[in-house]
């Protein structure tokens, strides 16, 4: 063996010994080095230029939104249904600042419904004013903004407490009333000022008409009325027989009108409830009265509980019914409440009974004829009258002719349910043809005049040579 070969072997063994010694004293390899070759030289012997380049994953350069979309695309391509937790994480939360959304406004207003958390307040600082500015009730007399997170405690004396102390000390009573009014003014300003500087609810709140009931579309309004009536008719035995209504409310007339409307549309309209389709002529007047004023059955395990979806007032119907006696020959026990008032049981600001809440304080446009402001149940009554006359074939509904509510003659005409009307279909068709003939003649006259004016205009145009003016 030559000297050169033996020298090369010694160098090779030295390198192997150094590799084994360095591997025993070094830290354990990382995950991305597990697949590295066992014959790789240690980093101590490598030059900086020959060090292994660490390749970063592509996800490090991609935004989280694109990662989510790409992962969703991979899941959809693989055909695997994503889990509910995955979908909840990827779904966007509903925006907090939506002053135009009536549904979210009602959700905020609904948080004030519990009497153990929120007592009635003066109109300037009631729950409607707080809900219009993005506040929700989170505790006893405590409101919070979901946008900026600020919380406010609203503490006022009840009107009953102030009235109960009257007569004892006149000077002290006046001072309490004055202090209460100052607190109301302070809280009224805090509805806006207590938001953070950058909170959007501080700059703008809901419109004055956000609380208005959508009753302008007749089909939708009547369908919702039918659904409320359907829910109440299912518990007709729980509804008390004695109901207090406004003097201008005639349930017999409205029952005839609705019977005529439902009977004429039950065969073609699938949205009419089944209970009404079966017997449109036999409507329960007590259930219809409650439904007409916005009441419906609360969907819970308690039987005989009605609610209003506008002011979220809940009403226990059992309080107004007499309890049956257990022993024979003994009269039934009297009800806890003598009479059910369908108007007074609503909250004061409910648009079903409050004209200002329904109108929103809007003024008629310039040049428009001012109309009388009506509450929600009055507008619904007018919708029923117009719909009945349209189905019956009347050209001009009575509500558009401005018939007074107390006119007995007009009410009897409305209650006829289409039995008498001035013109039949043939007469209307003949008048329509006559109007169309007149319109065609009038259009032809204007067309002849326009053609003559166009010809005269062409004759008066001076003819000029090309390249000259005038």
Dump pLDDT digits (tens) for 55-87.
444 434 444 444 444 445 454 444 445 455 544
Residue 434 confidence (pLDDT) above 50 = yes
d(CA 323, CA 453): 87
pLDDT mean over 322-336: 61
Answer yes or no: is pLDDT of 196 > 90. Answer: yes
Average pLDDT over residues 87-102: 69
pLDDT attached to residue 430 = 83
pTM of the predicted structure, to 2 decimals: 0.62
Q: Does position 331 have pLDDT exceeding 90, yes or no?
A: no
Top pLDDT among 177 and 378 is at 378
Asked if pLDDT for residue 397 goes beyond 60, the answer is: no
Mean pLDDT, the chain, as a whole number? 74
The whole-number average pLDDT for the span 111-135 is 93
The pLDDT of residue 167: 52
Give the pLDDT mean for 3-17.
72
pLDDT, residue 348, reads 93
The string over 43-63, giving b where at least 16 C-beta atoms fall within 10 Å of a residue's C-beta and e elsewhere, is: eeeeeeeeeeeeeeeeeeeee
Render the burial of 94-122: b for 16+ CB within 10 Å, e for the rest.
eeeeebeebebbbebbbbbbeeeebbebe
pLDDT of residue 17: 75
Where is average pLDDT lowest: 96-110, 248-262, 357-371?
357-371
Most confident of the following: 134-148, 275-289, 325-339, 420-434:
134-148
The token pair that represents 10 in the structure block? 């010694």
DSSP state of 323: B
Q: What is the mean pLDDT of residues 274-302?
A: 81
pLDDT of residue 199: 92
Q: Region 20-49: what's the mean pLDDT?
A: 47
Mean pLDDT of 204-226: 92
Asked if pLDDT for residue 91 goes beyond 60, the answer is no
Smallest Cα–Cα separation from 394: which of 364, 374, 371, 417?
417
Q: What is the pLDDT of residues 344-381, one digit of tens each?
A: 999 999 999 999 999 886 665 665 555 678 999 999 99
- pLDDT-based confidence at residue 260 (cuts at 50, 70, 90): confident
Report which of residues 400 and 20 the model is more confident about: 20
Q: Buried b vs exposed e over 425-459: b needs ≥16 C-beta within 10 Å?
A: eeeeeeeeeeeeeeeeeeeeeeeeeeeeeeeeeee
Give the integer Cα–Cα distance in Å for 391 and 264: 8
Quick one: what percent of the chain has pLDDT higher than 90?
35
Least confident of 143-157, 312-326, 440-454: 440-454
The pLDDT of residue 208 is above 80: yes
More confident residue, 168 or 188: 188
Closest CA to 319 of 422, 238, 410: 238
Grade residue 100 by pLDDT with cuts at 50, 70 and 90: very high
pLDDT band at 431 (very low <50, low <70, confident <90, very high): confident
Could you read off the pLDDT of 407-423 as tens digits, one per residue?
444 444 444 444 434 44
pLDDT at 343: 94
- Tell me which of 25-39, 132-146, 309-323 is least confident: 25-39
pLDDT at 404: 43
What is the predicted pLDDT for the residue at 438? 85
- Give the residue, 430 or 87, on which the prediction is more confident: 430
Calculate the alpha carbon distances from 218 to 261, 325, 379, 381 in Å: 11, 45, 10, 11
pLDDT confidence band for 228 (50 / 70 / 90): very high
Residue with the larger pLDDT of the pair 120 and 68? 120
CB 298 within 8 A of CB 305: yes
């Amino acid at each position: 063996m030559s000297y050169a070969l033996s020298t090369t072997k010694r160098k090779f063994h030295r390198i192997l010994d150094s590799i084994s010694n360095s591997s025993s004293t070094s830290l354990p390899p990382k995950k991305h080095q597990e697949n590295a070759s066992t014959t790789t030289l240690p980093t101590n012997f490598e030059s900086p230029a020959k060090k292994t380049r660490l390749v970063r994953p592509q996800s490090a350069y991609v935004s989280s939104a694109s990662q989510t979309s790409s992962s969703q695309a991979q899941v959809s391509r693989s055909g695997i249904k994503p889990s509910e937790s995955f979908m909840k994480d990827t779904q966007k939360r509903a925006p907090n600042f939506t002053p135009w959304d009536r549904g979210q406004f009602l959700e905020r207003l609904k948080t004030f419904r519990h009497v153990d958390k929120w007592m009635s307040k003066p109109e300037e600082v009631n729950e409607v004013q707080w809900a219009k500015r993005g506040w929700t009730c989170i505790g006893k007399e405590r409101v919070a903004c979901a946008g900026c997170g600020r919380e406010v405690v609203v503490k006022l004396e009840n009107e009953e407490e102030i009235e109960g102390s009257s007569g004892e000390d006149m000077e002290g009573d006046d001072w309490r009333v004055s202090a209460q009014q100052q607190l109301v003014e302070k809280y009224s300003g805090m509805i806006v000022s207590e938001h953070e500087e950058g909170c959007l609810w501080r700059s703008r709140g809901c419109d004055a008409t956000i609380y208005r009931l959508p009753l302008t579309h007749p089909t939708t309004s009547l369908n919702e009325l039918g659904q409320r009536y359907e829910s109440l008719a299912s518990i007709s035995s729980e509804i008390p027989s004695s109901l207090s209504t406004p003097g201008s409310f005639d349930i017999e007339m409205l029952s005839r009108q609705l019977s005529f409307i439902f009977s004429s549309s039950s065969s073609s309209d699938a949205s009419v409830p089944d209970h009404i389709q079966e017997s449109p002529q036999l409507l329960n007047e007590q259930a219809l009265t409650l439904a007409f004023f916005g009441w419906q059955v609360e969907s819970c395990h308690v039987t005989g509980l009605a609610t209003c979806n506008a002011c979220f007032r809940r009403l226990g119907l059992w309080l107004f019914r007499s309890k049956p006696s257990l022993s024979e020959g003994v009269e039934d026990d009297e009800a806890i409440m003598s009479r059910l008032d369908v108007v007074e049981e609503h909250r004061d600001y409910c648009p079903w009974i409050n004209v200002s809440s329904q109108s929103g304080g809007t003024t008629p446009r310039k040049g428009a004829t001012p109309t009388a402001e009506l509450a929600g149940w009055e507008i619904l009554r007018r919708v029923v009258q117009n719909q009945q006359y349209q189905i019956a074939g009347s050209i001009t509904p009575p509500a558009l002719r401005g018939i007074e509510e107390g006119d007995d003659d007009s009410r009897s005409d409305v209650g006829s349910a289409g039995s008498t009307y001035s013109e039949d279909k043939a007469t209307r068709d003949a008048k329509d043809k006559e109007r169309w003939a007149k319109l065609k003649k009038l259009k032809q006259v204007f067309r002849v005049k326009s053609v003559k004016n166009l010809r005269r205009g062409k004759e008066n145009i001076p003819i000029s040579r090309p390249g000259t003016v005038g």
